[in-house]
Structure 1
């Protein structure tokens, strides 16, 4: 075998072996990259230079700001207000609390941009409430986890920012807009399924419909929801960049949480920062190491080889996209979301570009697939949080999640094969020149 083939086997083989033996993902990426660079006889300075270059980007500054803004709003009472608003809007339906759960996740996801934060915040309130009203513990948890994926699609989403950085030249504003319809469509699909299940199991209705309650709840929650408007309108309108909008969102969230809502004391801000730094440190380490990993991939021409291989299997766009979805779903079951975005994007982008798919469309498709991965075993972070809150074993949750997986895959198929469902809003509001 030639040097390139052996180096590829070292890089990919050692990485997969370490993943199989449950090494921390950062160690798996770093060790496989360093080993391959050493074998190729390249200076190890390449590893450090690429790691530094990976995090030394202005666009990337948006990620910590979005994380901090989401943590502040999540801790500052916005969850309760969004649940109250959602209850006024849909709580009167059969299975009203399930609908409230999904709608609250839709609202909160647009603030936190995180599936795990959504499940921890909304779930800690809604799951006990649903169980008390007679809902099954498994159903209550499954609704919470499935609906939390909306937060990854509905803007602002720091994972979209990471993809834009890796893809290079992809508009963050167009990505934000592209996630809107899929995120809302996912919520509607989950509501329809939950409604029929609620009829079948005779889950209770909530209070009667009241316009007055809607107006009162809207007034109480509008300041929190305005965070999304600031970010999306600001970025899309060209008023400021994604990074600037994220910084403004932090200042706004800080002011609303500590000086308007006042549900937590100012001293709690340090705990919020601590949680944010813990999350951010993981993300930045993964970005740094994955950048070096991606550089070695490019050096070995692996993205081009993978593209050629996939395109040689079939010329059918339908089959190729199906294979990519299956691949991403499987990767999402065993790897961290940020790592997959950083590693898979440069490999798969050449494939979808040759198929004529817009990179913005692919970004939404990628994030959606990996969002499903967060609620699948064996390493789904959202699945672990849902289990911890509800007390239901992960094995039981994974089994009872099967109907929800089917609903989500149905929406994924629509997102994959109906480009207009993703690109209609960005093409209307931010058309490419």
Structure 2
């Protein structure tokens, strides 16, 4: 390890330890490396611009953010929730099931766990608490857990970032996320059903079946968005980035003209908020591009791959080890940083061991999403605490069973790659 790289690591860990945002810590530590290595600081700008302008797929990130914010701002979320209440609200733990199903549906529109939790999540928490059948902590915990599904079912911003660092097909990654997302929803609903029986939660008054046609018609245009998105990509009509633009336009037409729930003033606010969110992601991406250049310059990924080859590690053992590491890192780092900075280190080893990169990517993203609800620093826990003012201790106390259920789903994905690869192979994936 060179002195410059050691300085980079010490600077990064030191700045992160004193509380500097990780994106800024990465940028400062990367600049420290370039200075110590005798390279011009202008090289950082060149790496950043080359990486940004050479990655057309990155345009999908702000477009998906805009689409999610428009969905949250209009009455689309309310219509989807009424449809979900009619669909599964009649069962034991009904509003908990509604919470999970709403996240499954909304995940096909937003691609963001935070957008799911802060938008439709706040509404369903209020519904669960006002019903009198659920505690505040339980409502918040299942909302945080179900929001992790958002970036698994397409569209998915984290998978766009993984495609950037792994040169994997974003189309096949999107397809590969569908069954794992449904599995996550199934285990969360099973856990909700079990806890509801154990704690004897009350049952909501069922929506008459005669109301279902009307609720379905109201929600149908919103339910079409995932279908339009997937058809555009897999029907060869659009690229994933163009599909993101179509998703944003469709959300705008739906909220502004069809449902008439979006004013010009609100739309301006949405664009401002989306720009801020996109800029925050962009800073992390920019820092990661420079840091990845440094890691590649130091030949760290190849050194790791050769070390693993020398140890004769089995692919399953490697996968389990990486996932344990990612779970630990997920307690202290956000998903974007893990995907952009940490995961690229393992990709050469995956190639060497014959681990499919689509399978690895989906498992890694699921792992990162679980990290969003892992105490003590799960970002989704803080987001829900901020938007609902429910004490963090209450949320953490009730989130453990759902965290355990998601870990069971993660283990199934690791041990049974076919869950992830079944749909991509149906559409011609040869991995």
TM-score by length of 1: 0.95
Distance in 1 separating the partners of 2:86 and 2:146: 18
Determine the structure 2 residue equivalent to 1:23: 20
2: CA distance, partners of 1:288 / 1:388 = 28
**2:151 match:** 152
**1:94 pairs with one of 92, 95, 117:** 92
Alignment of 1:239-388 (within 5 A): 239-313=237-311, 315-388=313-386
Q: CA separation in 2, counterparts of 1:158 and 1:333?
A: 20
- CA-CA distance at 1:380 after TM superposition: 2.5
2:404 aligned partner: 406
The Cα of 1:317 is off from its aligned counterpart by: 2.6
Contact 1:71 1:276 in 2 (8 A): yes
Aligned mate of 2:389, from 391, 399, 412: 391
Deviation at 1:401, TM superposition (A): 1.4
State whether structure 2 residue 135 is matched by structure 1 residue 166: no
SS in structure 2 of the partner of residue 153 of structure 1: coil
* 1:310–1:32 Cα change, 3 Å: farther
Are the aligned partners of 1:174 and 1:430 in contact in 2 as well (CA < 8 Å)?
A: no
Q: How far is 1:108 from its partner?
A: 0.8
- For residues 127 and 427 of structure 2, the distance between their equivalents in structure 1, rounded to whole angstroms, comes to 40
Q: What is the deviation of 1:308?
A: 3.2
Aligned with 2:81 (options 80, 83, 86): 83
Runs of 4+, deviation exceeding 6 Å: none
Q: 1:362, 1:202 → 2: CA distance?
A: 40
Task: Please tell me whether the aligned partners of residues 136 and 394 of structure 2 are also in contact (alpha carbons under 8 angstroms).
Answer: no
Listed as ranges, the matches of 1:131-142 within 5 Å are 131-133=129-131, 134-142=133-141
- 1:22 is displaced (CA, Å) by 1.7
Shift in Å at residue 314 of structure 1?
A: 5.6
Question: Which aligned pairs between 1:175-254 and structure 2 lie closer than 5 A?
Answer: 175-208=173-206, 210-254=208-252
User: Which whole-Å CA distance do the structure 2 matches of 1:193 and 1:143 have between them?
Assistant: 10
Q: What's 2:43 paired with?
A: 46
Residue of structure 1 equivalent to 2:142: 143
> 1:47: how far off?
0.9
Deviation, structure 1 residue 18: 1.9
Tell me, in whole angstroms, the C-alpha distance in 1 between the residues paired with 2:355 and 2:316: 12
| In structure 2, distance between residues paired with 1:151 and 1:336 | 15
Counterpart-to-counterpart distance in 2, 1:127 and 1:31: 40
Per-residue deviation, 1:286: 1.2
**Aligned pair in 2 of structure 1 residues 83, 302: CA closer, same or farther (>3 Å)?**
same
**Contact persistence 1:123–1:389 (CA under 8 A):** no
TM-score (norm 2): 0.96
1:52: Cα distance to partner?
1.1
Q: Would you say the 8 A contact 2:315–2:355 is kept in 1?
A: no
Question: 8 Å contact 1:19–1:25 — kept in the other structure?
Answer: yes
Give 1:26 shift. Answer: 1.6
Cα distance in 1 for residues equivalent to 2:23 and 2:117: 25
Q: Is the Cα contact below 8 Å between 2:85 and 2:207 reproduced in 1?
A: no
Offset of residue 150 of structure 1? 0.7
Three-state SS of the structure 1 residue aligned to 2:204 is coil
CA contact (8 A) 2:315 2:354 kept: no
Whole-angstrom CA distance in 2 between matches of 1:392 and 1:208: 28
Given that residues 99 and 191 in structure 1 are in contact (C-alpha distance below 8 angstroms), is that contact kept between their aligned partners in structure 2? yes
CA distance in 2, matches of 1:43, 1:10: 16
Distance 1:193 1:356 in 2: 35
Which 5+ residue runs of structure 1 have no aligned equivalent? none
